[in-house]
C-alpha cells in the first residue's frame, strides 16, 4: 500500500555530481525540496555551487558544497566523506557530471577519449563503487545515472560521448544486477533536449530551435524540472521495485 510519505526524502542524504549548474543544480534543489540533505559537488565553479547551497539553506534545507573532479578517482573520497562524516550516511547518489568534446571520428584524439571516459564512465563506475560500499552496509540505497538520448541515438561528430553514454546504460544494468540483493536500486535517466545555460544560446536561434522541435513529438524543449521529476521518482521509495531501468525524458524524441 502506498503511504503519504512514500515519495518523501526527509532525512535522506544525497550526493549530486556536477551540481553547480544546469540539470545537476535543478536535481540538487529538487532533492532538497523533498527533505534530503545534499552534498553539492562541483569541479571548478565554486561560486555557483555556493549559490546552490545558499538557495537550499534559504528554503530550510541542509547542504554543503564539495569540490571534486569526478574524473580523478583520488578525489572521490572527498564526496563520500562529506556524506558519511558530515551527515552520517549516504542514501542517494546522482551521477550527473559529464564532459564532452565535439570532434569527428577522424579528428578524435586520445586526450579527448581519456577525459570523456574518465568523467562520463570510469568516474561514474568507481564513485558508484565507493558509494555502494556504504549502501551495502545500510542494506539500502539509490544510484541514479544521468545519461542522454544519445545513449540510444548517436549524435553526429560526437562519437566518444555517444559511446560513453551507451556504456552508462550497461553500467546501470550491471550494477543493478549485482546490488539488488543488498536492497540497492540502480537506474538511469536519459534526457533529450533540455533548456539549460549550456543550450540556451543555441536554442535562441530560430532556425536551430525549429530543427530541434521538429524532432520532438511534444513540440517543446524540456525544462530541467522535467528531469527532476524522474530523478525524484527513482530516489524515493516509490521506485523500490524498479531496477536497471533507463527512463527517457525526451518528449518522445526516440519515438520517431
Per DSSP, what are the bridge partners of residue 168?
none
Instruction: Please enumerate, as own/partner, the contacts of 107-114 that have beta carbons within 8 Å and a separation of 24 or more.
Output: 108/159, 108/160, 112/160, 113/160
Helix (H) or strand (E) holding 126: helix 123-138
Cell output for 191? 534526457
- Residue 186 sits at φ, ψ, to 5 deg, of -125, 120
At residue 146, φ and ψ (nearest 5 deg) are -95, 115
Cβ-contact 91, 11 below 8 angstroms: no
CA distance 11 to 2: 19
Give the C-alpha distances (Å, rounded to integers) separating 17 from 58, 70, 105: 21, 8, 28
Overall size of the chain counted in residues: 256
Catalytic residue numbers, as ranges: 161
Alpha-carbon distance of 200 to 148, in angstroms, equals: 17
Amino acid at each position: 500500500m502506498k503511504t503519504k510519505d512514500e515519495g518523501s526524502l526527509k532525512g535522506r542524504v544525497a550526493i549530486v555530481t556536477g551540481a553547480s549548474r544546469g540539470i545537476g543544480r535543478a536535481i540538487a534543489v529538487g532533492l532538497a525540496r523533498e527533505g534530503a540533505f545534499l552534498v553539492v559537488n562541483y569541479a571548478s565553479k565554486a561560486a555557483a555551487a555556493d549559490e546552490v547551497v545558499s538557495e537550499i539553506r534559504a528554503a530550510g534545507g541542509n547542504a554543503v558544497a564539495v569540490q571534486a573532479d569526478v574524473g580523478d578517482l583520488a578525489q572521490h573520497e572527498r564526496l563520500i566523506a562529506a556524506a558519511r562524516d558530515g551527515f552520517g550516511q549516504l542514501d542517494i547518489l546522482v551521477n550527473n557530471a559529464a564532459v564532452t568534446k565535439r570532434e569527428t571520428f577522424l579528428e578524435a584524439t586520445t586526450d579527448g577519449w581519456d577525459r570523456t571516459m574518465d568523467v562520463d564512465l570510469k568516474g561514474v563506475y568507481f564513485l558508484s563503487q565507493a558509494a555502494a560500499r556504504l549502501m551495502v552496509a545500510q542494506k539500502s540505497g539509490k544510484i541514479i545515472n544521468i545519461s542522454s538520448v544519445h545513449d540510444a541515438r548517436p549524435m553526429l561528430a560526437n562519437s566518444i560521448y555517444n559511446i560513453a553514454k551507451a556504456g552508462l546504460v550497461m553500467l546501470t544494468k550491471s550494477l543493478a544486477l549485482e546490488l539488488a540483493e543488498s536492497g540497492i536500486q540502480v537506474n538511469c535517466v536519459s534526457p533529450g533536449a533540455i533548456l539549460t545555460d549550456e543550450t540556451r544560446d543555441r536554442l535562441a536561434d530560430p532556425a536551430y530551435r525549429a530543427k530541434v522541435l521538429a524532432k520532438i513529438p511534444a513540440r517543446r524543449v524540456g525544462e530541467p524540472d522535467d528531469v527532476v521529476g524522474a530523478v525524484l521518482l527513482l530516489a524515493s521509495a516509490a521506485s523500490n521495485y524498479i531496477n536497471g531501468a533507463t527512463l527517457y525524458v525526451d518528449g518522445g524524441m526516440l519515438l520517431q
